[in-house]
Chain A
């Protein structure tokens, strides 16, 4: 292995890629990098692209439009980076560029040289003219290893990844002994990013020593948590880093076949990964005898049909085998007996994508990031009530407070922070007293939540914790495969009890029953879905018990969320005589005129949509929401009004 066969074969490919990039730079025409992943397209990036193209051809300006993946700043989509080398500015990042703004940018900046400061998010490099994005906490507190190139390269162009150092990890692995590679991953302390945090090096070693030919490596991209989209973004934005990690893993464990399991609901991700496989094969970075070595690797894409439970590795394997996606008892673990009975490594998208940087920069470097027991970075899709939602990659050990308040800008609309749900439907809800908890596998588990695959939902004071639990149980209950008794029947019971409580039909003993049932489901279920499904209930009962009690004992929803436990009323003191705004917006004609020519709500007709509260002019602000509903003052409808209605 000492002759560095792969390195020799790779050198011309690498210089070709670098050459291409340099050529482009030498042309010195403006480059418009446009985020064209799912999030960008959903915010109108396709219209933005069209507007750019039209405006450029109208003005006959030569410029290159490069579609790139997601940079993680969802709040700023459609996001555009313009590199205009002759204007005297560094590359500039613009936010929320719709079609109109695109035309303005072409006219003012590309033609006129004025960078239109009001649309600028920041400059991509330090300079004296425009504040750089690197100085904002949303950028500076992040540490990107897995997402290093995401949003900066065209995922369809393999040369852009190679020019930035891509595939040199694989080259290094190919020129090393597989044992050394496994040692390196073990030393790095990399743990599985799918949720459980199993040491990846150990998994690889078991697979390598497992008896049996035809080993498999499967990349688990069956991301299904509500509000989570880390894997999708990585697949769409930089599929090559994942493929590189996959190939390193396969080489290390001695597998020649691999499968990328992606949900069919991620059509862009499927397309991106298929294209990436094709271009990597063309350059002999995948396929038969890679870079002239004796190592061959077939990669195929398997599209999952969208069952949450197929994210569980044994169910995922069943589904590839064409069977019903039902989890199997472990052991035997897939590393011993997996797909078609062969030893199979199942690793998450983020785990495999973390491998190439470790390969290149070493285990020691990796251990300098993160904590002792959880080295490296964590990727979260932070959603819910935060100012700057999006995809964030931070070093393990960062506190929840830093992530939510500094990186993501805190809670909007001057509301108070209430809770954060970490780990999706299998995770737990943590209250404000846990904000200083460091984000790592062990601390989060200890707090009753879990790392999960990276979904994080931030909730403000208007969220009802009973309703949140009900929401998650509704999800797990629907996604249960129906195999084992505890999950199939137990989650349904939990949901029914929670539904009753949110409707004001909670009873004495409900909370105790929720607790016993949750504990038994955790201990008795067959797979991870059932074992973790009660977590939202258990943690919210632990940290927000008084909210459950208010629902049951006082029929009151403290967050004013549960419809059956709230009512709207109009304060006659504040209501303006003759104003009709609320009447016009009520969809069920529940608002009537009182004797004093003010307005009141017929509680029998009201569907509690809250439109009147939104519509009431701020100078009156006369509509109030209360819980329990009995707090709303009763105002009789004038008899003539009733007659008229009939």
Chain B
């Protein structure tokens, strides 16, 4: 077991864990969207899980730092909050959703993050960025909502893990990046009917299985 100090509190964890996982397992919340605990190499793309660690001159992402004995971590310093709030506002500047219409039961991960960071769901002082994407995209088995998607990449990862190769992937680049689907294979050969891993893991309700598919999945578990 390894002992480390987080926000002046000593916690215990196992070797090989990331600082983020150690904190989450010990009831210390750090905002995150792209973290998957079984993932060997963290994706580290959402840039929300910043913490300050003694010995580093600026905040670091806690998903990429491995725990070490005696590590001194702070999750709530002004530089940490500054980066977290900016990352959140950047995400919200491409995510026009409102709490009232959120399709995720009990509100999605973004609403929880906003409450935690004590910020609104609007991107102010940033402007809302117009994106040239459709509201809804048909991905054969799912409906994909680009405006809800925060490109955390969890769906891409779990799809690969469960099916050994990607059916979902990132498409386009930069600001235009979206999730794409290799839909030109005969859909009857695809495991999507029973898998649903991507839709289940999506933190923002951006991938919604088509109703007929959900019914089928429920009837043959």
Contacts and interface: CB of A to CB of B under 8 A. Distances in A.
30 contacts: A307-B173, A324-B170, A328-B41, A329-B44, A477-B174, A477-B175, A479-B174, A480-B173, A482-B170, A482-B173, A483-B170, A483-B177, A484-B47, A485-B46, A485-B47, A486-B90, A488-B174, A489-B91, A491-B175, A492-B129, A493-B126, A493-B127, A496-B129, A516-B86, A517-B86, A517-B126, A524-B83, A524-B86, A524-B87, A526-B45
B53 interface: no
A446 B174 CA distance: 30
A324 B83 contact: no
B125 A509 contact: yes
B82 interface: yes
A482 B61 CA distance: 18
Closest 9 CB pairs of A and B: A482-B177, A489-B90, A480-B174, A520-B86, A329-B44, A492-B175, A484-B45, A485-B47, A329-B64
B37 to A, nearest CB: 16
A488 B83 contact: no
B169 interface: yes
Contacts of B174: 477-482, 488, 491-492
B142 to A, nearest CB: 20
Contacts of B125: 509, 513
A145 B217 CA distance: 67
A406 interface: no
B176 interface: yes
Contacts of A509: 125
Contacts of B172: 482
B175 A324 contact: no
A488 B149 CA distance: 13
Interface in B94-127: 94, 125-127
Nearest to B174: A480
Chain A interface size, as a band, is 20 to 34
Interface string B29-43: 000000000000111
Contacts, number: 98
Given A489-B91, A524-B83, A526-B47, A481 B173 contact: yes
Interface of A: 307, 324, 326, 328-329, 477-486, 488-493, 496, 509, 513, 516-517, 520, 523-526
B86 A484 contact: no
Contact of B129 (A326, A328, A493, A513): A493
Contacts of B90: 485-486, 489-490, 493
Of A477, A483, A486, A525, the most chain B CB neighbours within 10 A belong to: A483
B55 to A, nearest CB: 15
A524 B175 contact: no
A489 B24 CA distance: 27
B94 A489 contact: yes
A488 B87 contact: no
A489 B129 contact: yes
Contacts of A489: 90-91, 93-94, 129, 175
Contact of B176 (A482, A490, A523, A525): A482
A329 B45 CA distance: 9
Contacts of A523: 58-59, 79, 83
Contacts of A477: 174-175
Contact of A488 (B79, B169, B175): B175
Contacts of B46: 484-485
